[in-house]
Amino acid sequence: MAFYYSEPSRTFNEYLLIPGYTSEECVPDKVCLRTPLVKYRRGEEECPICLNIPMVSAIMQSVSNDTMAVALAKEGGMSFIYGSQTIEDEAAMVRKVKSHKAGFVVSASNLTPDNTLRDVLALKEKNGFSTVAITEDAGPNGKLLGLVTSRDYRVSHMSEDTPIREFMTPRDKLVTAPAETTLKEANDIIWDHKLNALPVVDADDHLMYFVFRKDYAEHKEHPLSLQDEAKRYMVGAGINSRDYAQRVPALVEAGADVLCIDSSEGYSCWQKKTIDFIREKYGDRVKVGAGNVVDRDGFLFLAKAGADFVKVGIGGGSICITRETKGIGRGQATALIEVAAARDEYFRETGIYVPVCSDGGIVHDYHITLALAMGADFVMLGRYFARFDESPTPKLMINGQYVKEYWGEGSNRARNWQRYDLGGSKNTLAFEEGVDSYVAYAGSLQDNVAKSLHKVKSTMCNCGVTNIPDLQKNARLTVVSSTSIVEGGYHDVMLRATVGDK
């Protein structure tokens, strides 16, 4: 006879937090949202990789590209570049993120003195950089002969056939720094000489790196930015259980900090085989998350297989129709509560803490706080990030309202059959598990994330805690009735805006 759960599966909407004692220390400015991203052992001083805010962006075509990854890393979170593209294109996106801010940046725009203004303009159009190194061989490490920036030419007053040697800033007029210069020393030189870019050269005057003024300014504006040891933004990348033998090495070589198996259902032999390949080839050096699961058994399977974090959630995404088409899944709150309990059980027994990611079901900002209180270490968001300027899709005007396109990886538009693959020979999407839709445009990521996290911090203060571990330990939650859900919104009044419209 089939097994029946005695309790219904519940969503975040069915819970509320009960306030705790708020002391003088419980103010939003003192709340720390730092949280582990990958597993660590009891007794280690700190997790190998931590997020500064508990938010990552979903592995989706309409959400996570290199632009989103840079914007979210600046705020302290991480994007997982979508894997439903060619290996080369995904690796290229990872490289763009890793080269965007590195303190010492290898030059990505290089020409020779014999090239022309037309070449400069074409290069700027291609990669967006206004600083072009002029080297002997047009290579990133060639002998430095000069520099071209937007201040060196005026398109309206010059022929595009003008050789670069006629308008570049020549080497003898450039301020440079030697190879042994530290980042602090480089920034001091930039400020002392009022430079936008400082070339770093070796003893033979070959270009090694650039240090940019804007990188220093960005760091001051974004103190929580998520960076690796080389001061580069950190980025994740999605993989699948089909072409991992080719995709993983390319993403590792490109500099991806964390990988994540992108699958609608993770309690499978295919995920274990993927993790086994990574462990055999790289040991524990390459970090990889797995999922998605909705119960204790699924979590323990992936934790024992070697996953660095486990994603929770099936069918809870706003564009997901897996529950409708296949009849599998579980209410996000119930799934998260059970998996978090299994995570704690596994930690007690093994001394290994495997972070849990709540993926799906987040509709309102307070749902983030609920997810953290229920045991999630961080949340993965799709619709939330798809609304912002930095998502890959265009801003459109539909019926008088600005919107952005948002589609599921299981939709016909994405055709991400690998995400739903069950090991068959047909490389096709047999039926849809996602829809193609619009979401209301919301503006910039920075402004919206700041507002959402302020709500999270304020709620944590109401609960009497100032960090996520204390929230997980001390939170008190209550199931709410359908009537109390109605009571929680405005009721029995006429909104002034509505009255004024009539």
- Known catalytic residues? 320, 419
Q: Are 149 and 167 in contact (CB under 8 A)?
A: no
What is the rounded distance in angstroms from the CA atom of residue 424 to the CA atom of residue 415?
16
- How is 436-468 classified by DSSP, letter by letter? EEEEE--B-HHHHHHHHHHHHHHHHHHTT-SBH
CB 453 within 8 A of CB 31: no
> Could you tell me the sign of the dihedral formed by the alpha carbons of 244, 249, 252, 256, in that order?
negative
144 burial type by CB count under 10 A (0-12 exposed, 13-18 middle, 19+ buried): buried
Give DSSP secondary structure letters for 296-339.
HHHHHHHHHHT-SEEEE-SS-STTB-HHHHH-----HHHHHHHH
C-alpha span between 395 and 389 (Å, rounded): 8
The amino acid sitting at 495 is L
Contacts of 32 (CB under 8 A, 6+ apart): 466, 467, 468
- Evaluate the CA torsion angle 451, 457, 460, 461 in order and state its sign: negative
Q: Is the distance from CB of 145 to CB of 170 less than 8 angstroms?
A: yes
